[in-house]
Amino acid sequence: MTRPETHTFQAEVKELLGLMIHSLYSHQEIFLRELVSNASDALDKLRFEGLTHPNWISDGEELAIQLEVDRERRRLSISDSGIGMSRAEVVENLGTIARSGTRKFLESLRQAGGQAPDLIGQFGVGFYASFMVASQIVVETRRAGEPGGTRWSSKGDGEFSVEDCDALPRGTRITLELKPLDGDDSQAQDFADPEVLRGLIAKYSDFVEWPIRMPAAHFQQDGRLKREPGLGGLECVLLNSRKPLWARPKDEIQASEYAQFFRHLTHGWSDPLETVHFRVEGTSEYTALLYVPSERPQELFDPARDKAHVALYVRRVFVMADCEKLLPSWLRFIRGVVDSQDLPLNVSREILQHNRALEQIHKRCTKKVLEALAAMRDGRRADYERFWSAFGTVLKEGVVVDREHSQSVAALALFPSSKRERPVSLDEYLAACPKEQSAIYVLTGPDLDAARRSPALEALADRGWEVLFLVEPIDEWLLDALREYQGKRIVQLGRGEADFVGEAERFELERREREYRAVFERIESDLAPHVSKVRFSGRLKHSPSLLVDDEHSIGAHMQRMLRQSGDQAPERKRVLELNLDHPLASKLKELHEAGRSAELKDCGELLFGIALLAEGSSLPNPTRFSQLVSQLMLVSGGAPSV
């Protein structure tokens, strides 16, 4: 045996440990769930890797998890006969934090000033959670296929030691020196009490597929506990029911059991918003248990973790944790399990690329989830709005990238509206639409407040027509992909010419346009390169000016994205629209006709600046704009009364 080697923990682990050790967190019990789920993962991995290394598992060998306690010494151990860890893996896995989720957890905690204990449960901090209840932890482990093992130990004080250790069985044994019970706290749970441990296994780990056992000697004779041999041949009792929830008939499952399994899958505390559980029999046989979460996980837009969250099982054998072939990427927030009867057990990611059975599963699961969401939208509106604000942005990707589902996903979208407090769907919009209105009107913008205040709404507001606001970056892509819905065109109010003006109004616009052409040409050349065209507007009622985009011009978000990624973005062609009824219009003409071109230029610049500010954009030259405004105040003899 070599001398123990001392290592220091990665800085983030130290921070996490400091937090664990001083935590008065009421959910300390989750440490057991975390250890059991690590042990269960290790057994899954052994079974999977064992397919290609048949000599790793001998015939009739027990694959199980075992808890043992020594009440007097306050010592608890959790053993598994799983894959184990090599020395290098021990140092890597139990010395650093690999999960970006845990990093995010620390960040959120720093932001909350360390005062947010609930976050621990929400994130699940894995192995390190044990330092909430233990003053020292020893891990003894031997990786399958390797002759020697490793012993790791730490008091959670910034360092850990590692040494080689012979004669260990394959798998991992984690021994916790439990902290003394706090005599003052009558609520404190005693994790050295076998009954407490049994209760916790039932609460958190009942569905774990592997047997979880404790030595029978820990319990009084109790007929309800099944006695059987455990690891090392010790007489044990079985603590978990093991039957996977998804394999049970739907009508025999309580809502609380579904919720419990969801928490087991997500290592979280929240309940799912919706559960979709179905079995398909026939040419392809499988069971799917899918959940719509109620809270948006931290990693949703973290590119490294932003992936599928449905596990693939084959005949109840775990094959893959996050199988991206089961659902489209725009449903990646769905959690759950698919258990297939037909796929080969040793299925690889390559085989999954072109597998007919899997394509069918993909199709059916997508359909079922969309149906469940539509039913929630129609029957449980408050829940649905909560869902939409958490995951709507991801779902909108479906409209953009998935032609087949584009319309059905669009039907699920909710948008803020100019006329209603609560967000509305496209169908609700159409249902409330007056007969003479032939299009769906939408307005994009940098944010909802700016869009709500936009002068582009004036004429439609006057008519009492509703406008939907699409203010997320993805909405520009969405509008590119979705040109119509239920046969009605989708028209962007901030783009092209207003299409809703009546015959007489159009005639008048065109007449005045001809009259003003020379004035506008002058302003166009004064405002180049910012503005490509100046014209009268069919959209304005009160404000003097407005900026809109050319019909085919690139959108603001798209332009920003291209610039950020270092690409050459085409110029955005803006059109300055002026209010034909505003007295400023005739003022421009007077200046032009009197040859007062410097003043005309200043007026043009002011109208352009006003339009930029009204849409929430910044001015190209704010100093110049404020000079112009102050000059104007002097000329007019003070501030105008508005």
List residues near ligand ADP by CB under 6 A: 34, 38-39, 42, 80, 82-85, 93, 99, 126-128, 172
Q: Between 31 and 516, whose beta carbon lies closer to ligand ADP? A: 31
| Residue closer to ligand ADP (CB basis): 128 or 262 | 128
Identify the three-state secondary structure at position 549. Answer: strand
Which structure tokens are listed for 461? 């507001």
Beta strands at 468-470 and 439-444: parallel, antiparallel or unpaired: parallel
- Comparison of 42 and 376: residue with beta carbon closer to ligand ADP: 42
Q: How far is the CB of 73 from ligand ADP (least distance, A)?
A: 22
Q: C-beta of 435: minimal distance to ligand ADP in Å? A: 58
d(CA 630, CA 458): 28
Residue with smaller CB distance to ligand ADP, 131 or 330 = 131
- Residue 415 near residue 408 (C-beta atoms within 8 A): no
Query: Smallest distance, Å, CB 150 to ligand ADP?
Result: 11
Nearest CB to ligand ADP, comparing residues 144 and 412: 144
Whichever of 80 and 206 has its CB closer to ligand ADP, that residue is 80
Q: Please, what is the minimum distance in Å from the beta carbon of residue 42 to ligand ADP?
A: 3
Residue 32: burial class (beta carbons within 10 Å; 0-12, 13-18, 19+): buried
* Smaller CB separation from ligand ADP, 131 or 387: 131
Nearer to ligand ADP, 94 or 470 (CB): 94
The Cα 48–Cα 144 span in angstroms is: 12
> Cα(341)–Cα(518) distance, rounded to whole angstroms?
76
Q: What string of DSSP letters covers 381-416?
A: HHHHHHHHHHHHHHHHHHHHH-TTTHHHHHTT--B-
- What's the closest the beta carbon of residue 575 comes to ligand ADP, in angstroms? 54
Contact (CB, 8 A) for 69 and 169:
no
Token match 């992909």: residue?
Answer: 481
In whole angstroms, the minimum distance from the beta carbon of 191 to ligand ADP comes to 18
- Residue 329 per-residue DSSP state: G
Q: What is the DSSP string of 42-54?
A: HHHHHHHHHTT-G
Which residues have a Cβ under 8 Å from the Cβ of 473 and sit 6 or more positions away?
557, 561
Q: How far is the CB of 6 from ligand ADP (least distance, A)?
A: 20
Amino acid letter, residue 236: C
Minimum CB distance to ligand ADP, residue 337 (Å): 18
How far is residue 9 CA from its own chain's centroid? 30
Q: Name the DSSP class of 343.
A: S
